[in-house]
Structure 1
């Protein structure tokens, strides 16, 4: 179905799916608690659908996924770093039944790499993720998944437990990158599988890290209430270790609450959003600085970034405009800086400051072209700006549209 809605705005996709369902505007508007006039304007782009909570309610009423309304799946471009085996190869590795079957133990393989080598390879994937170099990570992950499974199969005793922890981390990295490129369903499978292996390993820190990974996967799939509840449940599980928490555990714990805050904001739960951000601030204060323990990029600046992001989700766009552009994110990984740039562009656009919004988006693209190209918000913002133009779009906007493959 999605291929038939290429280059449509979110509002136009709503209209397309509504007609496919044989549903009138009156009925759909009633299901989401809006007026028919509001829905008509949304479908005709006279009202911009810019809050995920509203889009999710429309998706639920139409019985489609959030991804169906948000964005088209884009062909992952081949590059020197990706080679010619991309998302399908990673999907095949994650869903390979031989990795999970008892018969896998009978498969003859070469000597597995050492756990030290595997850990080093995972670190390279995380560096690629934080550098918004997804092509490289997607190329190496299928082989890395197979090697980690092999190490876990042949290991014994403590070595096997360590290998299971490594395997959980591989799936965590895969889930994080898949979320970034819009493969939310596959990210969920990877996150859930990674949590299973992390628990088997008995390593508290790896398990905590995978719990936040599952929370992000739930968030990407539009399961906001479930993500909120997992935040609470995971925090309770981790709380006994907090009085003597290491910087690593503090970072994972704080990042878990940041994911929960985003889920709460998208669920339009202001009280939970404030509570989760307060918990994250407490962890950031204890940590005392911006850091990158367990590849979290956690610290005071990341909490402020999430304050801006949650303000946008809750409709407090002026707060986001006042605070977001002034944040100094230069000390954070590229992925965090670019994601904040997208949020600033979104906030400016909501205030009809299109020139400022375009500048913010272009600045994000300059440091993280792959990230901007694969994020649904880049495409939706650019399409909305083009539709606002009375004449032909300017050179910068037209060039951006071509790079995003918007016809």
Structure 2
């Protein structure tokens, strides 16, 4: 086996065994060491390593750093010359922009990437369909947060069509894309547009067992938010507690769930279970009561 290919396979193996900073360093080193097909594969690995970094930073509410990681990943994706990788990193960069409140830019970037993929939809792979549909989910969410209902509806319909073509829930390129994830986004978009009752109608009965745990927990948090806005506090709290069983760290440290528990604690006679959950979160409401 040629020694250069041996080294690239070593980089892939280290992806599962080293810390993220070391992985990024190895990937960047590989992009400098190889050219041709091996160089493009090295750029692909570099792009996905930065996508992972952006994902973690977004969840830690480090939006500016997430954008930096995603934009560097997008540069590596462009160097890979792989349209699916370019689409995937465009999605990551758009997510990062949305996280810092740049909704119009987020939608513009994701929509441009989706248009870039459209000519390849004649005979799409599951990876291509998943990335394409996920880009429209980002567009829909950004439009909803920008109070643009018409655009949100247009993009969610396009994502729905892609999910129907895919035919089942999947997790191609870590998108968790499929019919269930589209419904999860419909719930979130309804909340963002101020329609808590519609969010409950979509979200409460939805079976999310076919998607990754991260998506299940995030959907539970969104449904709990909608229930709380409809003043169904006990149901909202029960939804959060159920989610805590399968994803304790995500429930305890996600900004949305922490804000929700803080809000419940400020209401008259908050439930004992809410106080206990707040203790596990390390959350205290504002005000003299505490």
Would the TM-score normalized by the shorter structure come out above 0.5?
yes
SS of the equivalent of 2:204 reads helix
SS of the equivalent of 1:185 reads helix
> Do structure 1's residue 395 and structure 2's residue 272 form an aligned pair?
yes
2:12 & 2:191 partners in 1: Cα distance?
37
1:284, 1:298 within 8 Å by CA — same for their partners in 2? yes
- After TM superposition, list the pairs within 5 Å mapping 1:226-265 onto structure 2: 226-265=105-144
TM-superposition CA deviations, 1:173-199 (whole Å, max 9, x none): 110111112111110000000000110
> Do structure 1's residue 405 and structure 2's residue 282 form an aligned pair?
yes
TM-superposition CA deviations, 1:103-145 (whole Å, max 9, x none): xxxxxxxx998433444555x59xxxxxxxxxxxxx8211111
> Do structure 1's residue 209 and structure 2's residue 88 form an aligned pair?
yes
2:209: which partner in 1? 330
- After TM superposition, list the pairs within 5 Å mapping 1:161-240 onto structure 2: 161-240=40-119
Q: Give the drift of 1:270.
A: 0.6
- After TM superposition, list the pairs within 5 Å mapping 1:307-386 onto structure 2: 307-386=186-265
Closer/same/farther in 2, CA of residues 158 and 320 from structure 1, 3 Å limit: same
Tell me the TM-score normalised to structure 2 length: 0.92
Larger Rg: 1
2:8: which partner in 1? 115
Q: Alignment partner for residue 179 of structure 2, among 292, 300, 319?
A: 300
Q: Give the drift of 1:373.
A: 2.2
Runs of 4+ in 1 over 6 A off after TM superposition: none
TM-superposition CA deviations, 1:67-92 (whole Å, max 9, x none): xxxxxxxxxxxxxxxxxxxxxxxxxx
Q: Give the drift of 1:219.
A: 0.9
1:307 & 1:352 partners in 2: Cα distance?
21
TM-superposition CA deviations, 1:181-227 (whole Å, max 9, x none): 21111100000000001101111111110011111111111111111
Greater RCO (Cα-Cα under 8 Å, separation 6 or more): 1
SS of the equivalent of 1:326 reads coil
1:47: which partner in 2? none
Aligned residue-pair number: 281
1:225, 1:264 within 8 Å by CA — same for their partners in 2? yes
